[in-house]
């Protein structure tokens, strides 16, 4: 594999993923470089199902290696919401600000002890024929605060409090988020897999 397509249209996710792949000796491209790429509906009920859908369908259509990702926030006390609906929690086309406002409204009734939450990142690598060759998941645990803070990151990062650092993810900055976050953890597992494949040849 000399070229890898990241199966996402989310520019902020792509920026993080490309940074995490910088050490790999492979050309990384985004779907933006393929004007006629598919728009894959995320109809799965789990992050794994959605990541598989995006990887397999794009790989078969583009005839390329595709690494797809599905991720989101889970708050167990809110019946595991927003979950796979994280990007559209406040409705289709919702902004990060709208999703955050809805989450703040939902947690108001929860005591501090029930505001635990975690991010999930599911990765799936598909070959040009759609065969899945690698998949992994990683989590990042913290809690939700009703006072957003920080200017980095995206999504629910201003509300995701990391107790060990006494800050939200949005206050930590990109380097720290990559080191301890769900996407960074999943991508390091992927890079380890890729290195093992190269060494076995």
| Mean of pLDDT values over 14-23 | 79
Question: Strand pairing partners for 167?
Answer: 162
Range of the domain at 113: 3-199
> Does residue 48 have a pLDDT over 80?
yes
| Mean of pLDDT values over 144-170 | 95
For all residues of the chain together, what is the average pLDDT? 92
Question: Strand pairing partners for 5?
Answer: 29, 66
Residue 70: CB atoms within 10 A of its CB come to 27
Tell me whether the omega of the peptide bond preceding residue 93 falls within 30 degrees of 0, making it cis. Answer: no
> Does residue 199 have a pLDDT over 70?
no
Contact 172, 162 (CB under 8 A): yes
Catalytic residue positions, numbered = 70
Structure-derived torsion over alpha carbons of residues 46, 52, 55, 56, reported in degrees to the nearest 10: -140
Residue 24's CATH number: 3.90.950.10
- pTM (whole model) above 0.85: yes
Contact 75, 81 (CB under 8 A): yes
DSSP-derived letter for residue 131 is -
Paired tokens of 105:
């409204």
Q: What is the pLDDT of residue 200?
A: 63
Structural domains in the chain (count):
1
Q: pLDDT category, 201, cuts 50, 70, 90? A: low
pLDDT above 70 covers what percent of the chain? 98
């Amino acid at each position: 594999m000399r070229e890898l397509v990241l199966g996402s249209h989310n520019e902020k996710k792509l920026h993080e993923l490309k940074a995490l792949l910088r050490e790999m000796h492979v050309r990384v491209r985004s779907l933006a470089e393929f004007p006629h790429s598919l728009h894959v509906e995320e109809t799965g009920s789990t992050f794994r199902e959605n990541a598989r859908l995006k990887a397999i369908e794009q790989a078969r259509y583009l005839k390329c290696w595709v690494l797809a990702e599905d991720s989101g926030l889970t708050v167990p006390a809110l019946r595991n919401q927003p979950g796979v609906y994280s990007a559209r929690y406040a409705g289709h086309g919702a902004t990060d600000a709208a999703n955050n406002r809805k989450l703040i409204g939902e947690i108001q009734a929860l005591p501090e002890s029930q505001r635990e939450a975690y991010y999930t990142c599911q990765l799936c690598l598909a070959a040009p024929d759609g065969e899945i060759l690698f998949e992994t998941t990683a989590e990042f645990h913290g809690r939700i605060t009703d006072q957003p803070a920080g200017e980095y990151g995206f999504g629910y990062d201003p509300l995701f409090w990391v107790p060990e650092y006494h800050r939200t993810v949005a206050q930590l900055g990109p380097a720290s988020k990559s080191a301890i976050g769900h996407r960074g953890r999943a991508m390091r597992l992927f890079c380890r897999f890729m290195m093992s494949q190269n060494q076995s040849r």
